[in-house]
Structure 1
Amino acid sequence: MRNAKATQSELSWTQHPFPFPHVIPPQLAIQQCTAKMSQSHALSDDQVAGELRKMTAFIKQEALEKAREIQLKADEEFAIEKSKLVRQETAAIDTLYEKKFKQAAMSQQITRSTLANKTRLRVLGGRQELLDELFQNAREKVSKVAADDQKKYQAMLKGLVLEGLYYLNEDNVAIRARKKDFDITKKAIEEATKEYKDNVGSEVTVTLDESEPLPEGSAGGVFIVGGQGKIEINNTFEERLRLLEIDALPAVRETLFGKNQNRKFYD
């Protein structure tokens, strides 16, 4: 009868395996032990209880060892996953830091470039203001000469007229001047025509065009008209100073500010 029950129990455990495959299910172990002891010889109740305690202790020990094995494996897998996550997060942080660093470097470079350009423009603006002031002072001094020193101004007008005569090389030339300079311009024309004849050996007729005087706001000088009114030479002080600014500007800049280190080619 007991053997039949043990066999039925074994079939039941075979159909429903114990969670720990290496450990004998407690009930099956007890039944097998009881059946074995019954087959060999009869045991007292105390002996049976002692055998059962041993079997129970053995089963508990097996279960504890299996549990420790499972725990160790779980801890190992957790450590692996944890290390993987740490590496992934570290790589993400490094990538983000590198991106932020590049953005900061680019922003800093743009800021430095902007400040450098602003400083450069400010310096260039200051230099241009100084040059404008310099040439404005020159214009004022020339105007002052025309107003205060008539003898010197007449000599300057003579030179301007003579320059136009040499350039045109014509028989008839007209001169335009400021209305207040008509008298002194006539004297300058007389001296210029005489010198022109002495140097070139030919006569030239120079007339003062009083119908179209230069603006009174002009600093001085003359317009020389030739080619039957088709050719005009602007020999006013304003124009001569403008040309002087263009021609002398590089030398003036070098004198005031020194050589340009960024300039590679010179005329």
Structure 2
Amino acid sequence: MSSQALSDDQVATELKKMTAFIKQEALEKAREIQIKADEEFAIEKSKLVRSETSSIDGQYEKKFKQASMSQQITRSTMANKTRLRVLSARQSVLDDLFEQTRGKVGDVSKRGDYVEIMKGLLLEGLYALNEPKVQIRVRKADIDIVQQAFEGAKKECKENLGKEVEVEIIGKDPLPEDSAGGMYIIGGQGKIEINNTLEERLRICETDSLPSVRVTLFGKNENRKFTD
């Protein structure tokens, strides 16, 4: 029995081997756990980094859009203010131009071609009415001028309309002497009246000719698709 029993040294040796084996197993297991823990940490860290990066990118994109929108609004506001200032300045130029013209329209009656001007105004009314007899109202100062103008107008009407035209000057209701000149042409038995005074022609010029005046002064507006 004693021959089969292990000595104390042998038992100690076996215990050391078992202890070393268990310790080695524990160390390997600990390394496996550490590796797995490191992998899981790296994965969670990567997820967290991606999540935070995405959140930061989203916040940046939102702030960038807000900043871009704010810049667009600012640019649009400044552009509109500039456009309004330009339009206001241009309108001021037009107002001054027509105001100066209104101040000088009275000088037309002092020109050497005033007879021809009156003839043209008279012819325009005669052609529009196309009647054998019309009445006109003029300033007393223009009566002689109109009579001269009528001689030429009568001849042209005969050539172009093929008929004689009679013009009666209404002496009892002349145009005011402080008016610029021109005439009222009356037909249709007093029911139709054509205002061909110089003031009216200037007013028509201010409205009907305004687009062409704008182009002459300021150039063509490239942003306008239609000019009518």
Q: TM-score range by the shorter chain?
A: 0.7 to 0.9
Partner of 1:204: 166
3-state SS, counterpart of residue 235 of structure 1? strand
Of structures 1 and 2, the one with the larger relative CO (CA 8 A, separation 6+) is 2
What is the deviation of 1:224? 1.1
CA 1:261/1:103 → structure 2, altered by over 3 Å: closer, same or farther? same
Q: List alignment gaps of at least 5 residues for structure 2.
A: none
Q: How does 1:129-144 map to 2 (within 5 A)?
A: 129-144=92-107
Q: CA deviation at 1:124?
A: 2.8
Pick from 189, 199, 224: which aligns with 2:185? 224
What is the aligned partner in structure 2 of residue 170 from structure 1? 131
Q: Which amino acid aligns with 1:81?
A: E
Kept after mapping to 1: 8 A contact 2:185/2:193: yes
Aligned-partner residue type, residue 208 of structure 1: I
Rg larger for: 1
CA RMSD of aligned residues (A): 3.8
1:129 partner amino acid: S
Is residue 69 from structure 1 mapped to residue 69 from structure 2 by the alignment?
no
Matches within 5 A, 1:21-32: none
Q: Would you say how many aligned residue pairs link Structure 1 and Structure 2?
A: 223
Q: Hey, what does 2:50 align to over in structure 1?
A: 87
Equivalents in 1 of 2:180, 2:165: separation in Å? 30
After TM superposition, give the deviation of residue 239 of structure 1 in Å.
Answer: 1.7
C-alpha distance 72-38 of structure 1, shift in aligned 2 (>3 A):
farther
**% identical equivalent positions:** 63
Is residue 142–residue 237 contact of structure 1 (8 Å, CA) maintained in 2? yes
Question: In the aligned structure 1, how far is the partner of 2:112 from the partner of 2:185?
Answer: 21
Instruction: List aligned pairs for 1:91-130, cutoff 5 A.
Output: 91-130=54-93
The 3-state SS of whatever aligns with 1:225 is strand
Q: Where in structure 2 are the equivalents of 1:242-261 lying within 5 Å?
A: 242-246=203-207, 248-261=209-222
CA contact (8 A) 2:141 2:177 kept: no
**Cα gap change, 1:53 to 1:152, in 2 (>3 Å):** same
Structure 1, 48-57 or 238-247: larger mean CA deviation: 48-57
Letter in 1 for 2:203: R
Deviates more, 1:235-244 or 1:193-202: 193-202
Gaps of 5+ in 1: 1-36
CA distance in 1, matches of 2:18, 2:71: 78
2:144 to 144, 166, 187: 187
What one-letter code is carried by the residue in structure 1 that aligns with 2:172?
E
Alpha-carbon separation, structure 2, partners of 1:152 and 1:80:
99
Deviations 1:27-55 (A, max 9, x none): xxxxxxxxxx99931645x7756655554
The CA deviation at 1:153 is: 6.0
TM-score by length of structure 1 reads 0.64
Q: Tell me the TM-score normalised to structure 2 length.
A: 0.72
Candidates 195, 201, 208, aligned match of 1:234: 195
Counterpart in 1 of 2:4? 40
